[in-house]
């Protein structure tokens, strides 16, 4: 997939993690908060990989 697609997907995944964490805070559910934080961290790593230059055709 394209770089911008990968980046958009990672941002959407991070947002999903934020919502889970927020729900966990509102409900007082530590498990849900932790799961949301893990998803956000994974999405941040995914964003970093999407921003890295791709090996391919260079001039």
Q: Is the pLDDT of residue 57 over 80?
A: no
Q: Is pLDDT of 55 > 80?
A: no
Banded model confidence at residue 17, pLDDT cuts 50, 70, 90: very high
Instruction: Say which residues have a Cβ less than 8 Å from residue 18's Cβ, sequence separation at least 6.
Output: 36, 40
Could you tell me which residues come within 8 angstroms of residue 50 by beta carbon, excluding any fewer than 6 positions away?
Answer: 3, 6, 7, 10
Rounded to whole angstroms, the Cα distance separating 37 from 26 reads 15
Residue 54, pLDDT score: 77
User: pTM, whole model, 2 decimals?
Assistant: 0.81
């Amino acid at each position: 997939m394209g770089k911008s697609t990968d980046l958009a997907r990672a941002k959407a995944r991070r947002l999903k993690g934020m919502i889970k964490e927020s729900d966990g805070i509102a409900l007082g559910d530590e498990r849900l908060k932790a799961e949301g934080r893990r998803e956000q961290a994974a999405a941040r790593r995914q964003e970093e990989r999407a921003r890295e230059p791709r090996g391919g055709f260079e001039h």
